[in-house]
Structure 1
Amino acid sequence: MEVEDLTSVEWRDTGWLEHFGGFQNRQMVLDYFAMSPFWDRQSNNQVLAMQTQFNDLGQAESTETALRKMTGIEFAVVHEQPPVYVIQKQYRRGPSANDVTPIATYYITGANIYQSPTVYSVIANRLLTSLFHVNSAFQDAQSMMEYFPAKGYGWKSPSTTSNLQKQSRAGKSASSQAYLKAQETQEYRVLMEKAIDTSAMRISQKEAASQTADGGLAAGAKVLDKQGSQLSSQTTQSDLVGTKRQRRKQEDTAAKKKKKTSK
């Protein structure tokens, strides 16, 4: 018959103990235990309590006598030495004291109720603890041994063990230093990338400003060239007009001279 493992549970009700002034008899111990999560609602104690809650069968001796006449699961106080009380969950087959099979054990110390671990769980935990320490001892011993092809296995000298310890420490320190260097180089790369980006932005801004200035100068030069060409065209036209006038004057004077000579 399997029992739920509640060894990690602790239950208490100090208000109940203060109200009743502690445990006066075994029945009060069972009444206090019946409020805990360890209690079985299908037990003979619960059935008998429901049947006799309105009569005088609530005394401890009468309850124990009535439970011996029943078969099934019951709770009984098997040890009492205040402030410690031991309660056993058992299966009753008959009225005699030997007609019971223990299922689980609980104990009350002060106001706290606990489930007692089984012998199997105690031995298993102790074996696991001892095996863990034995395994760690074998690992330490193996780290202190070395193999020689000519002699076989042997113990390492103290200098060798100290050198190995130093090497392990040096390896740890080297790994930590390498990690720090990697972090430093990463941070340095980030800073350098930021500096390069800022300088590139500044250069692009300067180039844009210079391009705008050059464009303004080129536009001004074009305007001046247009104005110069217009002035030069105007001067050439005035020069042509002057030369035509001079030729006309010369032709007129020559014609006048011819007329005079002919007369």
Structure 2
Amino acid sequence: MRLKDKVVLITGAAHGIGRATLELFAREGARLVAVDIEEGPLEEAASATGAMPLRMDVADPASVERGFGEALARFGRLDGVVHYAGITRDNFHWKMPLEDWELVLRVNLTGSFLVARAASEAMRERNPGSIVLTASRVYLGNLGQANYAASKAGVVGLTRTLALELGRYGIRVNALAPGFIETRMTAKVPEKVREKAIQATPLGRAGSPLEVAYAALFLVSDESSFITGQVLFVDGGRTIGAAPA
């Protein structure tokens, strides 16, 4: 019960890593707010975990403000916010429509800013807490993902800056940087690309959503109480270099 009685809001909670985190945090005793834009899957995930369902568009300031207001009205506080919601629109940069560039930046980066700002406002006024954003090992660069890489590099810069600004309030801000994880997003990856990603991972396999969820659990729990402004790679070692042939 590492999160007993902590109130935690999780975005992207209906599927994949967000759903795994929701289920894990429920087992660890948290009182939960499950956030997603897909209403049907959100209701099912919330019902299965006893969470408060909250439909939210993270790229819409009014939606974020309204959603956090409803969560605070229900629970009176937020001790943790874990933000996973994001999208991809992959293409080589010379083929990438400007609309796809702007959409990915708006959802992934502006959405992270809006969620973190709302979390900060809730925690500064009531109690310290932990904000966990989601970057990606792709922020280091990846073929065909100029928009996604740029958005996640922005999340890293945002994380570090917010940690500096919020430390005086006792609020910690960190980011997860997953590698190749088995999710709906990676299920769309061509088989050849998938094989190359796994071959380049020293542990020789894809990660599971639950493995990322456990990293989020550490960052939200009191066990990480002196950790802020960090990027935690959950990538099977891929960031340190390609696996030996």
TM-score by length of 2: 0.22
Larger Rg: 1
Report which structure shows greater RCO (CA 8 Å, sep ≥6).
2
Structure 1 or 2: larger helix share?
1
TM-score by length of 1: 0.21
